[in-house]
Amino acid sequence: MEISNVALSQEVYRADAEKICDWLNDEEITSYLNEDSNAQKKLMSVVNRVNMPILTHLFNNNCRFFTIKNLYGTIGFLRLVPKGSFVEIVLAVGEKELWGKGIGHNAVVEALKVAFFEMRADNVIAKIKKVNKRSQNLFKGIGFKEVRLLENEIEYHINRDNFFKIAA
């Protein structure tokens, strides 16, 4: 298996949640995310309170949550958040040594299949911090179009028809 081959897993195990907590404790990783500054503490608190090996139900509140896995294990996470006729995508590759290796690209393409085929979304949007050039290039490379400049972010969109043209 190539390093960029990934699978999206809907199951979230305790070890996955602990890894996510570690990533959310890393300032370099969180500097690119739009997560609440207390997200790591809140997640760790919940993980410590719940005595179950599978924590999937805690991560799927009002969204579809996936861990990104490759041959070596869990390497990131991805959320698809329904918001009316569109779905917002949130991506984090937590293993920094894998940044720039195609992981995010492959995970986003797999997520778009879920958003358009299973969730029946018309559009998928991504809000990416202006400082995150790598993610901007990733989403533009897949076919997302820059739609709006926000104060700290750039909003990108892709619609179903454009994705089908790219995927064909």
Domain boundaries, the chain: 7-167
CA dihedral 73, 74, 75, 77 (to 10 degrees): 160
For the domain bounded by 7-167, which CATH number is listed? 3.40.630.30
pLDDT at 53: 66
pLDDT at 126: 97
**Residue 59 above 90 pLDDT?**
no
User: What is the percent of the chain where pLDDT is above 70?
Assistant: 85
Using DSSP's 3-state secondary structure scheme, residue 74 falls into strand
pLDDT at 103: 92
Strands (E) located in the chain? 7-9, 64-70, 73-83, 86-93, 123-129, 145-149, 153-159
What is the distance between the alpha carbons of residues 164 and 137, in angstroms, rounded to a whole number? Answer: 20
Q: What is the mean pLDDT of residues 122-127?
A: 97
| pTM across the whole model | 0.86
Beta bridge partners of 82: 87
